[in-house]
Amino acid sequence: MAYNKVDQYDEKIMPELMHHYRETLSLLGEDPNREGLVKTPERMAKAMQYLTQGYEMDARAILASAKFKESVSEMILVKDIELYSMCEHHLLPFFGKAHIAYIPNGYITGLSKLARVVDVYARRLQVQERLTTQILDAIKETLQPLGVAVVIEASHLCMMMRGVQKQNSVTTTSAFWGEFERNETRSEFMKLISSRLH
Ligand SMILES: [Zn+2]
């Protein structure tokens, strides 16, 4: 099943999900029957299904659906792709930006498809490290380019709102393959993504 829109969800699992969210609210000391909370279990059940819809999506199929023969051999870079995901340890959001580059080897893909691949893996319970390598692997396997680079910069609410409260910390993860394992190519990429003149 593929649901893309905010208001699409699996009707079959709604009653049980709502039941558990209602229980959770009670256990946290709330009254799930008070006015403001009556519809909260339903909203949560829908929101969580939306935020985990990536499980139903196929990144490789998305990339392959817009795969074109092209003899470009220069680096293709899409930077500052908005990213919203949820940490699997606390079910709290982490959000930031992804920067993706690849060097084609006969094939390119639509630029917007790269952003969609980010969503496919971000809309799951995640850790930032795995999100980074999943994006890289999907591009590598589908386009078989000469190289792929993925850098993600994100802020984690589980760090910002609780415990250590490092409000301004940004976590950076990166994955490099092929040509990007060479120092010059990688530093060219890093230079391009760190320039803020856009
Ligand atoms: Zn966390």
Residue 1 is predicted with a pLDDT of 44
Length of the chain, in residues? 198
**CATH code at 20?**
1.10.286.10
Residues 131 and 191 in one domain: yes
Which candidate in 99, 134, 156, 179 is catalytic?
156
> Does residue 7 lie in a domain region?
no
Q: How many domains does the chain have?
A: 2
pTM, two decimal places: 0.92
**Which residues are in the CB-under-5-Å shell of ion ligand 1?**
87, 89-90, 158
CA-based nearest residue to 192, from 70, 73, 76, 97: 76
pLDDT, one tens digit per residue, over 53-94 is 999 999 999 999 999 999 988 999 999 999 999 999 999 999
CB atoms within 10 A of CB 16: 10
Q: Of residues 49, 53, 128, 134, which has the active-site annotation?
A: 128
Tell me the CA–centroid distance for residue 52 and ligand 1, in Å.
Answer: 16
